[in-house]
Amino acid sequence: MNLRRTITSVSAALCVLTPWVGCSGDDGSTGMTTGESVGTTTGGTATTTAGGTGSTATTSGSATDGTASSTSDGTTSDSESTGVSATDSSTSAGTTSAGTTSAGTSEGTSEGTSEGTSEGTTDGTTTGEEFCPEGQIVCDGNTSQICDGMGGFMGVQDCGADVCVDGLGCLLCVPLQGSCDGDKASYCNEAGDGYVEDLCDPVQGQSCDANSGQCAGACSQGAIGLSYIGCDYYPTVLPQHDSYNTVPKDTFAVSVSNTTNQAAKVTVTRGAMMVATDTVPANSVKVVSLPWINETTKGSGPSKVVVDGAYRLRSDQPVTVYQYNPLGATTTNDASLLLPVNAWTPNSMVSAWPGGFYAVVAAEDNTTLNLQPSTTGNSVSAGGGVNTNGTGQVKLNEGDILVVYGNSDMTGTIIKADKPIEGFGGHKCTQIPPGACDHLEEASLPIEALAKEYVIAPTAQFPNPTLDKPQYVRIIASEDNTTLVFEPDQPVAKTLAKAGDFVQLASSVAHFKVTADKKVMVTQYMVGQSANTGNSDPAFVTAIPVEQFRTNYLIFAATSWQANFVDVIAPTGASVQIDGVAVNAWKGIGNSGFAVAHVQLSNAGNGNHTVVADKKVGISVYGVQNYGSYWYPGGTDLTLIPQ
C-alpha cells in the first residue's frame, strides 16, 4: 500500500470534515505541506502524523486565540494565526507544517528543537485540561456532580425541583437571590434552604432592592448590624411608684441620639395611633416626652397582658434610645437603654429584686411566650395567663406587653418565645438598704448576647467622687452547672447548679473580673442614701460583657441632675477621650488587665456627650441627687455569642 497516497487521502477527508485542522500548504494550495503531516484534534489534544520518518507526535492544547508552538527535526517557520485557534505544542521526528492550526488563515513557522521537547512535558506529550479537585461540586445544567479528581465524578444527583448551585450542590434556592413585590422583600437565605421575607418599612427609610430582593437603606439590617444602634424601638412605661407617674409633675420621656451626619426623622406610634413626630439633627440628641400609660405603670397587680401597651419609635436614620421613668430628677427614678428590634432574640432572662416585676414586649403578632420560673421566682401575682407558681404560656401581638408582678424574687426566670422579644426587670419602688425607696428598671440583654467575662466596678460617691459607692452584684446562670472564677477572688459560691440560679455579693466596693465556663448575666444595684455613702437612691444596671464593648458612644445625661457621671472600664493602657478630653484618672482592677475611671460630666451643655477610645471599652451612665438616682449602660454591641 502507498502510505503517501493514504495519508493524502486522509488529509483531504479531514479538510472537509475538520477544516480547523489547517489544510493549506505554504504555497496556499490545498493539500499537505512539506513533510505532509496530518493533524487531528479531539478534546483539546492534537495528534500530528508526520511523513519522512513515520513518527507520530501528540500535542495538547486548549481552544484559545493564539499561536501554537511545535518542535521538529526538520524545517521551522514563523506562524501567525487569525481567528480562534487550538494552541499546540507538538514534537515530530520529521519535517512539520506551519505549526498553527486555525479556523482562519495561518502563515509562519513553528519553533522547535531536535530534542522533541514540548511545553509542559519532556516526552513529546503536553498537559491537557486540569481536572477539578476531588470533592468539588460542579453543576451540569440542574445536575449536581462531585468531582473525583481524576476527570470523572464520584457522585451525581439530579436536583429535580430544586436548583443546582456550583460549589454547593442541590439547594431549595440560590443563596441571597430574591425578588420584590412592592415593599415586600423575599430572598433565599445563606444556607439556600429557605426564604426570608421582610417588609421594607418606608418610615425607616427602607425600600426593596430589585437586584437582591432585600430591604435597602441606612436602616437595613446589613447597614446597621447588631448593637444598641438601630431604627426600630419599643419604649415601655414600666411600674413606678404611683406618686411619681402622673403629669404635670412627672414626665415619661425618651432621648433619641442621632449617630449619623444626616437629620433623622422620628415617628412614635401606639397601635394604630400616631403619638409624635420629630426631627433629630445630625450627631445630636433630642428628648421626646410621651404620655404615661396607666395600665402598665400604676398598681401592683395582678399580672396582665396590656394590648398595645408599648410605644413604637421608628427613625429613618440609625439612632440610640434611652427611656426615663420619670425624666426629671426626683425622688424615685431610673432609666433603661432600649434595644433595637433587629437585635432582639426569642430568649430573655430576668433580673429583678424581691417583690419586683418583669415585663415582656413583642414586635410580631402571634408571639407565644413560655415562662420558666427560677428557683426563687415561683410565687407571683397570677393573671394574664401566668400561674401563681410563675409558669405559664402567653400569647402577645405586636406592641402588646406582659407585666408580671412577683411576690418573690423572680431573678433568673427565663422566657422562651417563638419570635423575638424584649425583656425588662425591676421594681416599682424598693429600698437597698432599708430607707427611702426608689424605682428600678433595666432592659435585659438577650440570652444570645450574654457572655462569659465581665469586669465590675462600683460607682463614685457624690459629693466626694474620690470615694467608691457600695453596691450589690448578682451573677445569674443561663445554663446548669456553671462555674465562676473571680480576679481577685470574692467570698461567694463558685458553682451555680441550675439555669436561673444566682450568687449575690453583699454590699461592698469590690472591683473584680468574673469569668464563667458558661454564659452568665451580671447586674449591679447601687445602694440608697440611707447607707450614708453620699447622695443617691437605689438604682440598677445590667453589666455589659467584655465581648460587647465598643470604641465609640454618643450618650445623653439630663442636666437637671445634681451630678452626672460616666464610668469607663478599659483595657490597661487604652487611650480614651470624653468630649474630646483625655481620661487620665485610672484605677487598676486586680490582675485583670482592666482599669476603671469615674468622670463627672459637665451640666453646662445640652446633656450630649461623646466617648471615643482606641480600644474597646465599656461604659455606664448615672446621675444622683438628694435621695434620687438613675443608672444605665451607655451602649453595647449585641453580637450573638455562642455558648
Res 82 pLDDT > 80:
no
Check residue 39 and give its pLDDT: 41
- CA-CA-CA-CA torsion sign (96, 100, 105, 108): negative
Neighbours of 8 (CB within 10 A): 16
Residues 102 and 565: their CA atoms lie apart, in Å, by: 81
Give the burial class of 307: count Cβ atoms within 10 A of its Cβ; 0-12 exposed, 13-18 middle, 19 or more buried.
exposed
Neighbours of 291 (CB within 10 A): 13
Give the burial class of 182: count Cβ atoms within 10 A of its Cβ; 0-12 exposed, 13-18 middle, 19 or more buried.
exposed
Task: Report DSSP state, residue 341.
Answer: G
Task: Report DSSP state, residue 411.
Answer: T
Q: In this structure, what C-alpha cell is assigned to residue 90?
A: 507538538
Check residue 37 and give its pLDDT: 37
- Of the candidates 413, 29, 265, the one whose C-alpha atom is nearest the C-alpha of residue 404 is 413
Length of the chain: 643
6 three-state secondary structure: helix
| pLDDT tens readout for residues 119-168 | 434 444 445 568 999 999 999 999 999 999 999 999 999 999 999 999 99
What are the backbone dihedrals phi and psi of residue 453, each rounded to the nearest 5 degrees, phi first?
-135, 130
Task: Report DSSP state, residue 608.
Answer: E
Q: 331: pLDDT confidence band, cut at 50, 70 and 90? A: confident
In the chain, the percentage of residues whose pLDDT exceeds 70 is 80
Residues 400 and 365: their CA atoms lie apart, in Å, by: 9
Amino acid residing at 631 = W
- Of the candidates 116, 125, 82, the one whose C-alpha atom is nearest the C-alpha of residue 100 is 82
Whole-structure pTM value: 0.78
Neighbours of 370 (CB within 10 A): 14
Check residue 178 and give its pLDDT: 96
Q: Is the peptide bond before 19 cis (omega within 30 degrees of 0)?
A: no
Residue 14 parent element (H or E): helix 3-17
* Mean pLDDT of the region 295-303: 96
- Of the candidates 259, 162, 118, 182, the one whose C-alpha atom is nearest the C-alpha of residue 611 is 259
Question: Please, which residues bridge with residue 312 across strands?
Answer: 269
Res 70 pLDDT > 50:
no
Check residue 129 and give its pLDDT: 67
Of 100-109, 313-322, 629-638, give the lowest mean pLDDT range. Answer: 100-109
Buried-exposed string 198-224: b where 16+ CB fall within 10 A, e elsewhere? bebbebbbbbbbeebbbbbbbbbbeeb
Res 328 pLDDT > 90:
no
| pLDDT tens readout for residues 85-120 | 333 333 333 333 333 333 343 334 334 433 433 343
Average pLDDT, the chain: 85
Neighbours of 5 (CB within 10 A): 9
Residues 416 and 428: their CA atoms lie apart, in Å, by: 24
Q: In this structure, what C-alpha cell is assigned to residue 192?
A: 439556600
Give me the residue label for grid cell 451573677: 475
Res 45 pLDDT > 50:
no
Check residue 330 and give its pLDDT: 84
Share in percent of the chain as helix, strand, coil (round to 5): 5, 45, 50
- CA-CA-CA-CA torsion sign (463, 468, 469, 475): positive
Check residue 128 and give its pLDDT: 57
Q: In this structure, what C-alpha cell is assigned to residue 14?
A: 479531514
Neighbours of 374 (CB within 10 A): 24
Distances 509 to 85, 326, 370, 378, 544 between C-alpha atoms, Å: 83, 28, 37, 31, 18
3-state SS of 218-260? CCCHHHHCCECCEEEECCCCCCCCCCCCCCCCCCEEEEEEECC
Q: 436: pLDDT confidence band, cut at 50, 70 and 90? A: confident
Residues 50 and 375: their CA atoms lie apart, in Å, by: 93
Q: In this structure, what C-alpha cell is assigned to residue 464?
A: 466626694
Task: Report DSSP state, residue 468.
Answer: B
3-state SS of 160-224? CCCEEECCCEEECCCCCCEEEECCEEEEECCCCCCEEEEECCHHHCCEEECCCCEEECCCCHHHH
Give me the residue label for grid cell 426563687: 376
Residues 502 and 374: their CA atoms lie apart, in Å, by: 10
Cα of 637 vs its chain's centroid, Å: 10
Task: Report DSSP state, residue 20.
Answer: G
What are the backbone dihedrals phi and psi of residue 121, each rounded to the nearest 5 degrees, phi first?
-140, 170
Neighbours of 174 (CB within 10 A): 14
Task: Report DSSP state, residue 110.
Answer: -
385 three-state secondary structure: coil
- Residue 605: partners with Cβ closer than 8 Å, 6 or more residues away: 559
Q: In this structure, what C-alpha cell is assigned to residue 365?
A: 403578632
- Residue 531: partners with Cβ closer than 8 Å, 6 or more residues away: 433, 435, 470, 507
Residues 184 and 187: their CA atoms lie apart, in Å, by: 10
Q: In this structure, what C-alpha cell is assigned to residue 132?
A: 477539578
Q: In this structure, what C-alpha cell is assigned to residue 413?
A: 426566670
Q: In this structure, what C-alpha cell is assigned to residue 5?
A: 497516497
| pLDDT tens readout for residues 2-32 | 433 333 333 433 343 334 344 444 444 433 3
Residue 4 parent element (H or E): helix 3-17
Q: 329: pLDDT confidence band, cut at 50, 70 and 90? A: confident
- Residue 618: partners with Cβ closer than 8 Å, 6 or more residues away: 455, 543, 544, 546, 548, 549, 550, 568, 569, 570, 633, 636
| pLDDT tens readout for residues 462-479 | 999 999 999 999 999 999
| pLDDT tens readout for residues 179-211 | 999 999 999 999 999 999 999 999 999 999 999
Give the burial class of 628: count Cβ atoms within 10 A of its Cβ; 0-12 exposed, 13-18 middle, 19 or more buried.
buried
